[in-house]
Amino acid sequence: MDTATSADRSDEFSLAALQPNDGDAAPHSPGEARPRWPAWLRLGAPTWIWAGVAVAAAGFILIAIAWGDVAGESLVYRQLPYLVSAGLSGIGLVLVGLTIINVGTRQRDAIDRDRQIGQVAAILEELRAILDEEWRR
C-alpha cells in the first residue's frame, strides 16, 4: 500500500467512506465476484419482506376458505378434510410468511451493520497508514 498517497487522500477518503452505498446491496470488494441475482432478489431486499406479508396473507385467505367450506358441510367426516387441508395449511403459511419477514428484516439490519463496521475499519486502516508513515520518519 502506498502510504504517502493514501495519507494525502485521507480527507477525500474519510468523506468517501461515509458516503452511503446503494443501500439494499451489500458492499463488495473489488476482487469479489458480483452476485448473479438482480438487486430486488438479493438477501436484505424489501421484496422479501413484502413476499413474507403476501405468504402470510395467503395463509389467512386459506383459513377463510376452510371456514367457508366447513360451514357448508353438515357431516363431520366431510368437514375434517377441509380443516386439515385448508385450515392447518393456512396456519402453516402464516408461520412461513412470518419467518420470511423475520429473516428479511434481519438481513437488512445485518447489511447496515456490516456497512458501518466496514466504514470504521477503513477509517482506522487509513489512520494506521498515516501514523506508520509518521513513525518511520
Give SS3 for 126: helix
Among 25, 51, 96, 130, binds another protein (CB under 8 A): 130
Give least dist CB 33 to another protein, A: 28
Q: How many CA atoms lie within 13 A of 95 on its CB side?
A: 6
Looking up cell 498515516 gives: 130
Give least dist CB 79 to another protein, A: 5
The cell for 88 is: 392447518
The cell for 134 is: 509518521
Residue (8 or 37) nearer to another protein, CB: 8
Q: Which stretch binds another protein (CB under 8 A): 24-32, 39-47, 107-115?
A: 107-115
**Residue 98 binds to another protein (criterion: CB under 8 A):** yes
Contact 10, 65 (CB under 8 A): no
Q: What character string, x for contact with another protein (CB under 8 A) and - otherwise, covers 55-74?
A: -x--xx--xx-xx--xx-xx
Among 55, 107, 111, 119, binds another protein (CB under 8 A): 119
**Residue 94 binds to another protein (criterion: CB under 8 A):** yes
Give least dist CB 125 to another protein, A: 10
Q: Give just the sign of the alpha carbon dihedral 121, 126, 127, 129.
A: positive
Helix axes 89-136, 46-71, angle to 10 degrees: 170
Among 1, 18, 41, 54, binds another protein (CB under 8 A): 18
Side chain identity, residue 109: D
